[in-house]
Chain A
Amino acid sequence: MKKYKWLVPTLYIIFLMLPIYWLINMSFKTTTEIINTYSLWPQKFTTENYVKIFTDSTWYMGYVNSITYTVFNTVISVAAALPAAYAFSRYKFLGDKHLFFWLLTNRMAPPAVFALPFFQFYSSVNLFDTHIAVALSHCLFNIPLAVWILEGFMSAVPKELDETAYVDGYSFGRFFFKIFVPTIAAGIGITMFFCFMFSWVELLLAKTLTATEAKPIAATMTRTASTSGYELGLLAAAGTLTIIPGAIVIYFVKDYIAKGFAMGRV
């Protein structure tokens, strides 16, 4: 029994990799080959799909746009959430519990509910089709998440740390940035990972709030698929490339992922 334990995760990983392999397989085929023949690997290996993406600005700008608003959003979310999480973890104040739950309710709001009002709201303040509009709209679910994760990490730091620093004559600002932030560096890293992740994978709001200037790669894909008669090879190559930023980010935080989940806050 124990000898065959490794089989379960192995089979699961194979199940996870199959669709990804299929996507990569397709990305190296020409569209005609995809439609006409069924094969487990490319018969006529081609990189023309990738060449097209890297030379056509409507394609590669999609990646630039996606990464831009994702980074904006991560920075805004974490910067705003840091002091708030500190307040929630250290102090009692009027309405703190209600405020905390209210924040969480926004993580629960279906984006489909907000799509139309967001479109009208950001259009009326002239932010439609800008990176900042998407970054701000993603704050709706990422800030509550960031506050929640960071509060978990901060509550794990004993309060004596704060008090000792004040006795030693540290001002609040110096204490916060010189001592407190480095102490919870791992927590900040994990928070950034989750903010990046949820902003990167979201499409409904990003698509609703953009037209051309800030259009995310995911939206470029849907549009091409419907207008020029399913260029499957190109679609597969673009899809494959969207996996890469995520893979890079995972590699950097792999040692912290388990720890982050252990806090029980995601």
Chain B
Amino acid sequence: MNKTINQKAWFFVVPVFILVAFNAAIPLMTVVNYSFQETFGNNVFAWEGTRWFKQILLSERFHAALGRQFAFTFIILLIQIPLGIGIALTMPKKGWGVPVCLILMSMPLLIPWNVVGAMWNIFALPDIGFLGHSLNGMGFDYNFTQQPGDAWFTTILMDVWHWTSLVVLLSYAGLNSIQPAYYQAAEIDGASRWAIFRYIELPKMKKVLTLAILLRFMDSFMIYTEPFVLTGGGPGNTTAFLSIDLVKMALGQFDLGPAAAMSLIYFFIVLLVCWVFYNLMMKNEVQS
């Protein structure tokens, strides 16, 4: 759409600007402020320069948490995106099945995150949970509170349960926007199922899929509540992702300086990756 230049449009944006600035800028400045200082309690501060940043960037604890975070995000993207596309392709296109699928599949998205964690906790408990009991019954030695491998398995399964539907709904919407004429043309050409997917469906879903990856990246990178309730970051520190580690440092140990420096580094990483995705997405939008 060709937009007209109108500087007065700023007046329309002012409420949003104020509300978000109030919430983002002021707290962010507090974080920046802490990140350069040492606190002794009672509001006594001393200038520390970039010491905390150096300390965090060189600390093994941060590297480990960052490594775990990237591994987790990478694994869930690798599972959720193909799985979501697959389910969307097999969903009914009309009839009573559509609302049933949409309603039931959206359910996990609307459950408070700590309830998701608690639910999976009692679902996976080795003695009284359905999952844990069944796995042990099948002869696996499964205990997510003690074995790191099992803890990872459970956390990933929980995230797949929680968020795959988002990818499904997005892909389904993308598929629905394809005109029937494309399929008819493909049928006349005698195109294989794979060719239809590769040359018609996938290009049409490009936009929603970029968005799905962006959203899943952001949200999985910030994940806190669900693993915190499920495993508490344990056993040991094996499932302590960035947010969990950060909250431990900030509210648990009250190391404000290092925690603030870590916050800024953390935010910067998310921002950087999202900026790349955002530009990719906008480029797609301009093309189409």
Q: Judge if A52 is at the interface, Cβ distance under 8 Å.
A: no
- Asked if residues B114 and A222 are in contact (CB atoms below 8 Å), the reply is yes
Cβ of B108 within 8 Å of any chain A Cβ, yes or no, is yes
- The secondary structure that dominates the B interface is helix
Contacting residues, chain A, for B267 (C-beta < 8 A): 109-110, 113
B107–A243 CB distance below 8 A: yes
Q: Does A181 contact B (CB under 8 A)?
A: no
B105 vs chain A, min Cβ distance (A): 7
Do the beta carbons of A246 and B111 come within 8 Å of each other?
Answer: yes
Q: Assess whether A258 is in contact with B172, with CB atoms less than 8 Å apart.
A: yes
| Shortest Cβ gap from B109 to chain A (Å) | 7
Chain B interface bracket (under 10, 10 to 19, 20 to 34, 35 or more): 35 or more
B66 within 8 A of A: no
Q: Which residues of A contact B112 (CB under 8 A)?
A: 200-203, 217-218, 242
Q: Quick one: which of A209-266 are within 8 Å of B by CB?
A: 217-218, 221-222, 225, 232, 235-236, 239, 242-243, 245-247, 249-251, 254-255, 257-262, 264-266
A91 in contact with B3 (CB, 8 Å): yes
Write the A20-43 contact mask toward B (1 if CB under 8 angstroms, else 0). 101100100000001100101000
The residues of A that contact B170 with a CB separation of less than 8 Å are 261, 264, 266
Q: Which of B48-56, B124-132, B143-151, B184-192 binds A?
A: B124-132
Alpha-carbon distance between A255 and B173 when the two chains are bound, in angstroms: 12
Task: Tell me the bound Cα distance from A262 to B131 in angstroms.
Answer: 35
What's the least CB distance linking B122 to chain A, in Å?
6
8 Å CB contact of A197 from B3, B8, B109, B225: B109
Known contacts A16-B104, A110-B222, A143-B19: A261-B173 contact under CB 8 Å: yes
Q: Is A47 on the interface with B (CB-CB < 8 A)?
A: no
Say yes or no for A167: interface residue by CB 8 A criterion: no
Q: How large is the interface on A (under 10, 10 to 19, 20 to 34, 35 or more residues)?
A: 35 or more
How far in angstroms is the closest Cβ of chain B from A5?
Answer: 5
Give the contacting residue for B118; candidates A202, A225, A266; CB below 8 A: A225
For residue A179, CB closer than 8 A to chain B, the reply is: no
Structural contact, B107 and A246, CB atoms closer than 8 A? yes
State which residues 82-96 of B face A: CB under 8 Å.
86-87, 90-92
Known A-B contacts A9-B87, A38-B127, A264-B207; A254 and B19 likewise in contact (beta carbons under 8 Å): no
On whether the beta carbons of B19 and A80 are closer than 8 Å, the reply is yes
Please give me the residue from chain A that is nearest to B245 by CB atom.
A112
Residues in chain A within 8 A of chain B (CB atoms):
5-9, 12-13, 15-20, 22-23, 26, 34-35, 38, 40, 76, 79-81, 83-84, 86-94, 96, 99, 101, 103-118, 120-121, 136-137, 139-140, 143-144, 147, 155, 159, 197, 200-204, 217-218, 221-222, 225, 232, 235-236, 239, 242-243, 245-247, 249-251, 254-255, 257-262, 264-266
Can you list 23 A-B contacts (CB < 8 A)?
A8-B90, A13-B105, A16-B104, A20-B107, A23-B122, A84-B12, A84-B13, A87-B9, A89-B1, A92-B4, A92-B9, A104-B278, A113-B267, A114-B24, A121-B27, A139-B23, A201-B109, A218-B113, A218-B114, A225-B118, A250-B103, A261-B169, A264-B207
New contact pairs (17) apart from A116-B256, A117-B28, CB-CB < 8 Å: A7-B90, A16-B107, A16-B161, A18-B123, A80-B15, A84-B12, A89-B1, A91-B4, A101-B278, A108-B274, A113-B246, A116-B259, A136-B19, A243-B111, A259-B173, A264-B211, A266-B211
Interchain residue pairs A-B with the least CB separation, the first 10: A246-B110, A117-B27, A261-B173, A87-B12, A91-B9, A83-B12, A112-B243, A262-B173, A87-B9, A117-B30
